[in-house]
Amino acid sequence: MNHYRRKDPGIFILLIILLMTGPGTELYSQQLPSYPVSLRIYDSFVLNPAIAGSKDFFNLDMSVGKSANINSQFIAGSSRIMRRNAEYPSTPALTDFTDFGAGGYVFREKYGLFNNSGFAGTVSYHKKLSDDALSFISAGISGKLIHTSYAGNTDAGIPSGKRTYADLDIGLYYYGPSFYAGMSVINVFSNTLNSDTAIYNAAGLSRHLNAIAGYKFVISRELNIVAEPAILLSENYSLSGNIKDMAGPMLRLYAGMFCAGAYFPGFDKASVFFRFKYPKFNIGAYLELPGNTPLYKSPILAEITLGINLSAIKFGAGGYNHW
């Protein structure tokens, strides 16, 4: 439902989000799942549960990532819940969208001395703001169970350890024909848990604030070319640091069935990604280059994504807005 045919006033929401988030220190990598990084591009409802159901199709993404010290597997999907059309209940093909969305993910990742795995379920509620059903505000909540183990660091005097915890993520989200923005709190209860263990501090399981905002500019309607600059903000709940550490600007370019772009997590790295969609599935890749270190010390992180469209609404010539 993320159409771009009309303009919508959303700049005031963006200003409110930026004022509420403030400066921060922690990078996105302190939140689980940390990998694949491309989930922030393709499955952003993981960082904000209110985004689940904001699209009018159900896409199931399966991603794998690999570098020298990173190995990750990730499966996620979300959709607006549908029902049969009240006027034509005997015709299954005619359906309506409800006000509710749902999603979920499972993941397993190994990076450095950490082994993490877990799963989550998400529900969201979407309130229509316009009669043409193009602008919405939504709220969402995710419940999750995560297990993390740490091999220990003798040089730093940190012993090995394991931890399994349950927690909640909550979020708010506005989306319209062109503009979208939202904010969320990740690990709502984790700051109230017993945090005097090394595994807690090393894994970065503290509460985080996230914000996202973006705008779609139509460059060519005839060629179906759209530019979408966006920014992701992530910070520890301590609210101390500078914006370079928490900001992740992004640019997507859509050209019909093809999408490509660049992402700069924390301004210290650069990455490129692309995705191509077919009527029932799509494929994509994400490549993250090291920042100020040579390739032989910090190799490229490569991630591959395969998406399967499980909804009645299929990608096709008339569905360029379905991303």
Q: Residue 84 has what pLDDT?
A: 67
Residue 2 in any domain: the answer is: no
Contact 140, 125 (CB under 8 A): yes
Measured distance CA(57)–CA(251) in Å, rounded: 23
The three-class DSSP label of residue 180 is: strand
H helix runs in the chain, sequence order: 11-21, 39-42, 198-203, 243-246
Q: What are phi and psi of 285, to 5 degrees?
A: -145, 150
Residue 5 in any domain: the answer is: no
Residue 320 in any domain: the answer is: no
Bridge partners (DSSP) listed for residue 123? 102, 141
Taking 50 as the pLDDT cut, the residues of the chain under it are 2-7, 9, 11-29, 193-196, 316-321
Residue 291 in any domain: the answer is: yes
**Closest alpha carbon to 117 in 193, 190, 35:** 35
280: its two tokens: 């029932």
Residues 6+ apart with CB under 8 A from 88: 94
**Closest alpha carbon to 85 in 74, 95, 75, 76:** 95
Q: Structurally, how many domains does the chain consist of?
A: 1
Residue 158 in any domain: the answer is: yes
User: What DSSP designation does 50 have?
Assistant: G
Residue 263 in any domain: the answer is: yes
Burial label, 26 (beta-carbon count in 10 A; 0-12, 13-18, 19+)? buried
114: its two tokens: 């950490």
The conformational region for residue 112 under phi > 0 = left, psi -120 to 50 = alpha, else beta, is left
Contact 214, 180 (CB under 8 A): yes
In the Cβ-directed half-sphere of 299, how many Cα atoms lie within 13 Å? Answer: 9
Q: Residue 281 has what pLDDT?
A: 85
Which domain, by its residues, includes 243? 11-309
Residue 160 in any domain: the answer is: yes
Q: Residue 217 has what pLDDT?
A: 93
Q: Residue 314 has what pLDDT?
A: 55
Contact 32, 116 (CB under 8 A): yes
The CATH number that applies at residue 172 is: 2.40.160.40
Measured distance CA(253)–CA(227) in Å, rounded: 5
Q: Residue 195 has what pLDDT?
A: 46
Residue 319 in any domain: the answer is: no
Measured distance CA(171)–CA(268) in Å, rounded: 27
